[in-house]
Chain A
Amino acid sequence: MIAVGEQAPDFTLRDQDGEKVSLSDYKGRKVMLVFYPGDFSPVCGDQLSIYQEVKPEIAEKGVELVGISVDSFFAHKAFQEKLGIDTTLLSDFEPKGEVARAYGSYLEAPLGFANRTLVLVDEDGKVAWTYKSPNPGEFPGANIIFDALG
């Protein structure tokens, strides 16, 4: 897992609409990277749905949520629509899991997807806080995010 204080590795990935999004686009703002195993899995759906319900309160803290998984952006679009969420979802699709690996979140074969990890990147692009779930079947409640944001 990437360490607090390190420079967060920059990346450019496609969002659910196929648009390129870079971490550097968020410079000057705080962003919470939400790595998760995959679209349409029951737990992932619960996680992003719960976070959606408190997005205004998270935004009030000056933080934007961004989900990242190894799914294609087409899958992200369908997943976003199914859940009724508007959180940006980025596609760590090719090379598969490259960004998750850079953040120490990737679970190697036979799993082949990111563990549930949260990485708060500050206004200067440094890692300010991280959380790693004990296993991909558990996700951190939204309270954990608010604990981190103070």
Chain B
Amino acid sequence: MADLGSASIPPAGPDDHVRGAGEEGVVVYADLSCPRCAADWPRLRERPGRLVFRHFPVASKHPRSPALHAAAEAAGRQGRFFEMVDSLYADRGRVDDPHLWERVEQLGLDLDRFEADRRSAEIEARVRRDFESGIRAGVTSTPGVFSL
């Protein structure tokens, strides 16, 4: 079992999802089913500097969240992580599997690979890793925003 006692957020690493550039910026712990995250997302993504996205799915509250985070991560394996995130936040009413497949087609992704990746233990562990780092950092609601 992971140690979930208090710790600072991990610094941005090579396998983090990063948008923008510069020394300044924010780390955002977000839930892809969270309405507050969706409402804040346009402002967050337009702010200057780097944005580091970290997964924080609260499955009990948002049962679809784990699937959406896995989908975003799977899209990321094909280089389209933020495009998937943008699309999910922009259309929160269409997040069932057929809607994900539509997005895969629109983004020009390999569907078979996407399907295999999003159900993989590796991606589940990758999402959980972010979630646990948020727990250790004391995230109590989403979006949880920290300065870099």
Contacts and interface: CB of A to CB of B under 8 A. Distances in A.
A46 B6 contact: no
A83 interface: yes
Contacts of B5: 143, 146-147, 150
Contact of A85 (B2, B4, B60, B138): B60
A49 interface: yes
Contact of A139 (B3, B137, B140): B140
A138 B138 CA distance: 12
Contact of A53 (B2, B3, B58, B138): B58
A57 to B, nearest CB: 5
B141 to A, nearest CB: 5
Given A46-B140, A143-B136, A83 B61 contact: yes
Contacts of B60: 49, 52-53, 83-85
Contacts of B148: none
B50 to A, nearest CB: 24
Contacts of B136: 143, 146
Contacts of B63: 84
B131 A53 contact: yes
Contacts, number: 60
B61 A84 contact: yes
Contacts of A45: 61
B43 to A, nearest CB: 20
A60 interface: yes
A46 B131 CA distance: 15
Contacts of A146: 3-6, 135-136
B44 interface: no
B104 interface: no
Most buried by B among A49, A54, A141, A147: A141
B1 interface: yes
Contacts of A52: 60
Contacts of A78: none
B61 A142 contact: no
B59 A143 contact: no
Contacts of B6: 143-144, 146-147
Interface string A45-77: 111011011101100100000000000000000
A84 to B, nearest CB: 4
Given A50-B140, A141-B135, A57 B61 contact: no
Interface in B1-24: 1-7
A49 B138 contact: no
12 contacts: A45-B61, A50-B139, A53-B131, A53-B135, A57-B1, A57-B4, A84-B63, A141-B138, A143-B4, A143-B135, A146-B5, A146-B6
Interface of B: 1-7, 58-61, 63, 131, 135-141
